Structures are given as structure tokens and as C-alpha cells.
Chain A
Amino acid sequence: MKVFIYPTNSLILSDLVERFGHEPLAIMQEVGKKVRRQGLDSPPMNMTPEDPKFGLKYAAVEVPSGVRGRMSLFDPLLSQAEAAIVVTEPVTSFGCMGCARTNELVNFLLRGKKIPMLRLDYPSTEEEAKVFVYKISEFLKSLKPKEEKK
């Protein structure tokens, strides 16, 4: 099953989802598709003026192009998401995660999708980490296993 993770560039969430037999939907795979595309139109991220137009699906034209551009990256992930693991108030929100409004919009859209969702806080002690990993493993076990890629 395809599991959306938030923060979408989290190493821990991406690793745990893969470890427990599901496919993580992370921003890195979308960035990868952009930068590996033939020809560099607009380095380094290869975001072209066309991309904010895809973001119009989610946000009005008055919304900053940064939000719309980011939403064009999130669009394939959100549309494929069959479940979600959300860490509330992540300590860092850098890089692709930098835009607070995009993050709020992504969380809002996830809630509206009515998919199985697990909300957690990042652990700060070993006891909290045990609960964190246990909850994720139980949540992922309750989902159907991922389909094998051909």
C-alpha cells in the first residue's frame, strides 16, 4: 500500500514504512523525477513556469507561486496516497518542507481524503520512541501489503 509520510523528506518515516513492507510516498521521488528528466530547463530543481500552473488545482492564482510550485510536487503523492503517517509539529521544516502554508494545505488535504491516518509526535526519549515505532508497526500491519512492482 502507498503510504504518504509527513514530513515528506523524513528518513525515519521513509525507512520504517519500507521496513514494514509498504511503499513510502516521499518528496524525494518527485524531486528525483524532475532532476533526472532529459535536459535541464531550470536548474537546480528543474521547476519550470509550467509547474505553478499544476498547483492551481489546489490553490488560487493569488497564492504565492512557491506554494503552487510545491503543490505541483505534492500532487502525485497526494493523489496516490492510500494511507498517511503524519508527525505533528516536526522539529525541522527545511528545504522542500520550508513553506509553512504548503504544509498546512497538505495536512488539510490529507484530512479531507478520508484515508487511514496515524498522527504522532517525534520521540524525545527511548520510551517515547518505543511507543512511536510500535504505533507505526501496528498501523502498517493493519493495512494491506504493497503490490509487487513488475
Chain B
Amino acid sequence: MDTITKMVVINSSKLLPSDVAIKMYETKADVMVKETCFGIIVSGERSVVEPLLSDIRKLDPYGIFIKERGFSPGEPYRCRATRRGGAKPGFHNLENDDKLLPLIAAALKSLDRGEIPVEKKQKKKLDIDKLKEIIKGSEELK
């Protein structure tokens, strides 16, 4: 029995975590679903969860992001309800990734349109010898 837990992070203007949770219930699949502020957490057999989530991703391919989670939904060592509030471990990383999701969604859209982005040339840092020359030059002017 290979049980896995997956986090579905929703960053969409068309979907709410509750919509996705209802879709999951409609499938009547043998999984545990927990609705959260960032999306949903799904736990169940790998053979059930993976195909189910690949279908769910089709609801909004650019707004749904999925990753595996070690702890199961409502795990007392992770859940804020039993840890007297505060950020759950891993929240800061998720928060940081969540800020980038609109950019990644736009990039995925452009990739599907077949656009090839042009990489901007990075500015070179000022060479230390060049800086010394500039300082010397300014001192001579005085």
C-alpha cells in the first residue's frame, strides 16, 4: 500500500479551493480531502491520487500547482490548530513560492503559445581596478 499526500496550491482567478474540493468529492474517489487557505491537501493511494490530480489540473492548468507533502492532512505536529497558532513549518517557503506563481503561470502560457524568450544581458559588476582608477581620477581633479 503506497499512500501519498499531495498539496494542490491554487493561484487562479477562476477557481476557489472549495470548487476544487467539490470536484474531488464528485469523483467519489477513495481519498481524504482537506480544504485550506492556499488550496487543498489530498491523501490516498498513489494509484488513485495521481490520475485524479492530473484531471484536476485540467480545470486550470496555469492556476493549479501540485507538490508532494510528507505529512498527512491535519497532522497534529504540523497543524496550527494543535500548535497554538503561528505559521506552520514550511509556510514561509510556500509563501515565497506563492508570490512567484503568477509569473510562472504567465511564463507557462507564453511557452504554450510557442514564444521563445530572449535572455537579457546581465550587467557586469564594476571591476575593482576600474574603481581604483575612478577614485584616483577624482582625487587628481581636486
Scan B73-106; emit 1 where CB is below 8 A from any A CB, else 0: 0010110000000000110111011101101101
Q: Does B18 contact A (CB under 8 A)?
A: no
Knowing A9-B93, A95-B93, A129-B107, the reply to whether A14 touches B117 (Cβ < 8 A) is: no
Q: Please, how many angstroms separate the alpha-carbon atoms of A60 and B9 in the complex? A: 39
Take A127-B117, A130-B117 as given contacts and tell me if A92 and B107 are in contact as well, using a CB distance cutoff of 8 Å: no
B71 contacts partner chain A, Cβ-Cβ < 8 Å: yes
Q: Are A32 and B5 in contact (CB under 8 A)?
A: yes
Give the number of residues in B that approach A within 8 Å (Cβ atoms).
39
Residues of A within 8 A of B101 (CB): 12
Q: Is the CB of B107 within 8 A of A91?
A: no
- State whether the Cβ of A18 lies closer than 8 Å to any Cβ in chain B: yes
- Given A28-B67, A130-B115, A123 and B93 touching (CB < 8 A)? no
Distance, CA A59 to CA B70, complexed state (A): 25
Give chain A interface residues in 36-61, CB to chain B under 8 Å. Answer: 36, 43-44
A28→B69 contact, CB < 8 A: yes
Please report the C-alpha to C-alpha distance between residue A29 and residue B3 in the assembled complex, in whole angstroms: 11
Interface of A (DSSP majority class):
helix
Neighbouring A residues of B104 by C-beta, 8 Å: 12, 16, 123, 129, 132-133
Report yes or no: B68 in contact with A28, Cβ–Cβ below 8 A: yes
Q: Which residues of B contact A89 (CB under 8 A)?
A: none
Q: Give B residues with C-beta under 8 Å from A.
A: 3-5, 7, 9, 46, 65-72, 75, 77-78, 89-90, 92-94, 96-98, 100-101, 103-104, 106-108, 110-111, 115-117, 119-120
Q: Pick 26 A–B contacts, CB within 8 A, sort by A.
A: A7-B93, A9-B67, A9-B90, A10-B93, A11-B9, A12-B65, A12-B104, A14-B66, A14-B68, A28-B67, A28-B68, A32-B5, A34-B70, A35-B71, A35-B75, A36-B3, A44-B75, A128-B120, A129-B100, A129-B103, A130-B106, A130-B117, A132-B104, A132-B107, A133-B111, A134-B107
